Every structure is written in structure tokens, then in C-alpha cells.
């Protein structure tokens, strides 16, 4: 339960292992700043929430707590998992053994061995249950039947029959689907929301579209990865030349080359000459990078603006990012690296900052959620 919930939380703090699904969110879609955004904190092994100034809004009182989605947050008490509102009051009683955050007005819950959907009143959304089911994205949700993946619509009707061995949620109107039990033998293509194959099943691996392009593995064999990018017509736009490639966000994508990771634009030009041990997606004009095992951030010019110093760092959301220091303590920072809250002292009254030029300090208020992939791909 905890692993799944952490994946779905922007403020997740657990190293991602054993992941069996992907979270797709609208990273590139611009949103207004959420002045009422709240962030999970931990004090004395209990969890609560602060606002973006570092002020405690909901006192630590829960066994577990996760980020707000659609104004509701998952919490855990001694009776199970449920939802609270931004006032800290229980909205849906904590009686579930397993659930996902709300997405498009519905949430997946589990009782016994079956999954079903509830609305924000806690009522069953439709009278159907599933072997396993996920959150809605673009009006479709993944589900399984006898181990095969398909999609349902928001009425619980089957929109895409469960005939695939793995799928990703829809993105830009298409979903990547795979056929083949063994990963080394699996081939991938893309379907539309009605299940029609629009890009044939042909790739060694395929990841979701973003900003009009999708990364696909065009290698001849599974052991010889050769990643490039295609458009929605299946045309190769960026020639295959990478060991791994990831979807675009903020106009850039991180790719793996022989020496490590770097960033490219939509013409395949590199953003920076620097090569990193690891790299992640852009959000709020910042992308996480790893140098000597520590996490820091670059801007969209390729400059390191927050030096690598953290054991863990999450993407920026509303101009705030969650980080874990090498000593294991939690903190939140702004886009210039200034702490607004830390686990040891609480709210930081005058956040220090690493000041860049004016353009560096512009915040793109996009959704800071991650794209996550199955353990087999990582």
C-alpha cells in the first residue's frame, strides 16, 4: 500500500522499487499558481501539512499522509485509509485497505480482493468491480482481467478490451501498449481511446507521448537499445541514438548516452555539455540532476542553479520542492534553493536563496508530478 501511494504523491520520499504501473500527468500543461497548495510534513513520526510559506496548517496527527489531489488528500489512521479536506477534517472515512488519490473526480479503492471507484461523497461511482484498477487519465483508466490490461471509461464500461500484457495510461489521446509475456520478446505500439491501433505494434519498447513526441526503442534486439522519438503519425523525428530516452517536459527530454544522462530539445540538440549520473524531468523550469550521488537542479539554460547536495529530491510544484538531506531529515526549498521549512527547526522565517538572474527566477506553475515506469524498464 505504502509503495503505491508514495508513487502517486509529488512529495514521495521512498525510493521507488517494485513499481508495476506508471503515473501519467499533465506536466506540460500550464496551470495557475495554487496559492492554497499544502505540503506533507513529518514530525515525531506523525504527518501533517504546511502551506507554501512553511506555516503549519494541519498539525501532524496521521500515521501517513500524502499530497492533495483535487483538494483531497489520502491519510491513514488506526482504522485504515481515507481522505481529508484542506481544513484537516475527514471527508471520506478511513476504512479502506488500499486506495489511489482522486483523478477526474473519482478514486480507486480496494476492499477485500476487489477494486472499485468512489466519488467525492464516498459513494460507489458505478456498480462494477475489478481484479485491479488504476486512476483515470483523459477519461480512461487501466484495469486488468486475468492478468491482461485494458481500459474502462468513466461509467465503468470497457473501452479497450483487456488483451495487452502491459499498457501505459493515455497521453495526448494515445496509449502505449505492449504484447508479449516476456519483456525481451514484447513489442509495442499505440492505440486510440476506442482501442484502434494507430501506430503498429513494432517497437522494442514505447513510452507515452508528450508535447507531440514519444520515445521508442528502435533497436534490432532487446539487448541493443537504440532509442529515438516519433510523432503521432509514427514518423521518426529524432533519429535513434540513445541508450534510453524519456518523454519531453518543458521543451526538453532527458536521455541516456554512453557516459551518463543529458538533455535534448525537440530537434535533438543538447541543452548542456555537462553529463550527469542521473537526470529527470523539467518542472517549474527546473530539472533534477545527480552528481557524485547527490541531487541538485539545473535551469532550462543548462546551468546548475541548486548545487547537488540532497540524498533525494522531488520535482518542483508551485515553486516548492521536497528534499531529503544526507542525514535523512526532510526539508522544502524554493526554486532558488532557499529552505522554507525543515524537519529540525520548522518554518524558516527568512529563506536563504541562491540568486540567479531575473529570467532564472520565473516560475512555470505546472503540475510537478512524475512519470514513472515499471521496474522492468528502470
Q: Given pLDDT bands bounded at 50, 70 and 90, which one contains residue 355? A: very low
Please tell me the least confidently modeled range out of 3-17, 31-45, 118-132. 3-17
313-332: pLDDT as tens digits = 999 999 999 999 999 999 99
Mean pLDDT of 158-177: 97
d(CA 372, CA 20) in angstroms, rounded, equals 9
Could you tell me which residue, 135 or 223, shows the higher pLDDT?
A: 135
Please tell me the least confidently modeled range out of 33-42, 112-121, 142-151. 33-42
Q: Given pLDDT bands bounded at 50, 70 and 90, which one contains residue 375? A: very low
For the cut 60, the answer to whether the pLDDT of residue 370 exceeds it is: no
Residue closest to 40 by CA, chosen among 78, 91, 74, 15: 74
Q: How many CA atoms lie within 13 A of 19 on its CB side?
A: 20
pTM: 0.84
Mean pLDDT of 234-258: 96
Whether residue 346 contacts residue 48, with contact meaning beta carbons closer than 8 Å, is answered with no
Q: What is the pLDDT of residue 183?
A: 85
- The grid cell for 368 is 510537478
d(CA 1, CA 151) in angstroms, rounded, equals 22
Q: Given pLDDT bands bounded at 50, 70 and 90, which one contains residue 224? A: confident
Please tell me the least confidently modeled range out of 15-24, 64-73, 300-309. 15-24
Mean pLDDT of 272-291: 97
In the chain, where the domains are located: 103-209
User: What is the b/e burial string over 343-359, where b = at least 16 CB atoms within 10 angstroms of the residue's CB?
Assistant: beeebbeebeebebeee
Q: What percent of the chain has pLDDT over 70?
A: 83
- The grid cell for 69 is 489531489
DSSP state of 126: S
Residue closest to 139 by CA, chosen among 106, 100, 188: 106
CA distances from 143 to 14, 90, 149, 225 (A): 25, 28, 6, 29
Q: Given pLDDT bands bounded at 50, 70 and 90, which one contains residue 351? A: low
Amino acid at each position: 500500500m505504502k509503495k503505491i501511494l508514495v508513487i502517486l504523491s509529488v512529495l514521495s520520499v521512498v525510493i521507488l522499487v517494485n513499481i508495476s504501473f506508471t503515473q501519467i500527468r499533465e506536466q506540460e500543461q500550464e496551470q495557475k499558481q495554487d496559492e492554497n497548495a499544502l505540503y506533507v510534513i513529518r514530525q515525531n513520526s506523525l504527518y501533517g501539512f504546511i502551506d507554501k510559506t512553511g506555516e503549519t496548517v494541519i498539525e501532524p496527527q496521521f500515521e501517513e499522509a500524502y499530497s492533495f489531489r483535487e483538494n483531497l488528500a489520502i491519510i491513514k489512521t488506526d482504522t485504515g485509509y481515507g481522505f481529508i479536506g484542506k481544513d484537516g477534517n475527514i471527508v471520506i472515512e478511513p476504512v479502506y485497505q488500499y486506495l489511489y488519490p482522486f483523478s477526474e473526480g473519482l478514486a480507486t479503492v480496494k476492499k477485500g480482493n476487489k477494486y472499485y471507484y468512489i466519488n467525492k461523497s464516498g459513494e460507489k461511482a458505478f456498480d462494477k468491480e475489478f481484479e485491479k484498477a488504476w486512476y483515470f487519465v483523459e477519461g480512461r483508466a487501466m484495469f486488468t482481467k486475468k492478468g491482461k490490461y485494458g481500459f474502462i471509461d468513466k461509467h465503468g464500461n470497457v473501452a479497450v478490451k483487456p488483451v495487452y500484457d502491459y499498457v501505459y495510461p493515455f497521453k495526448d489521446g494515445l496509449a502505449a501498449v505492449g504484447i508479449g509475456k516476456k519483456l525481451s520478446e514484447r513489442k509495442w505500439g499505440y492505440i486510440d481511446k476506442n482501442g484502434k491501433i494507430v501506430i503498429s505494434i513494432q517497437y522494442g519498447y514505447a513510452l507515452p507521448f508528450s508535447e507531440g513526441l514519444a520515445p521508442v526503442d528502435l533497436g534490432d534486439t532487446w539487448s541493443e537499445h537504440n532509442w529515438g522519438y516519433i510523432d503521432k503519425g509514427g514518423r521518426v523525428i529524432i533519429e535513434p541514438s540513445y541508450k534510453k530516452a524519456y518523454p519531453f517536459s518543458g521543451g526538453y527530454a532527458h536521455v541516456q548516452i554512453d557516459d551518463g544522462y543529458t538533455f535534448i530539445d525537440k530537434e535533438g540538440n543538447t541543452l548542456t555539455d555537462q553529463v550527469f549520473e542521473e537526470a529527470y524531468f523539467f518542472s517549474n523550469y527546473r530539472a533534477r540532476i545527480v552528481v557524485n550521488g547527490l541531487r541538485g537542479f539545473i535551469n532550462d539554460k543548462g546551468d546548475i542553479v541548486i548545487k547537488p547536495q540532497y540524498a533525494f529530491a522531488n520535482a518542483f510544484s508551485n515553486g516548492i520542492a521536497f528534499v531529503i538531506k544526507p542525514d535523512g531529515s526532510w526539508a522544502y526549498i524554493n526554486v532558488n534553493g532557499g529552505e522554507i521549512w525543515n524537519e529540525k527547526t520548522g518554518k524558516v522565517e527568512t529563506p536563504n536563496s541562491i540568486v540567479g538572474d531575473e529570467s532564472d527566477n520565473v516560475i512555470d506553475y505546472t503540475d510537478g508530478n512524475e512519470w514513472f515506469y515499471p521496474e522492468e524498464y528502470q
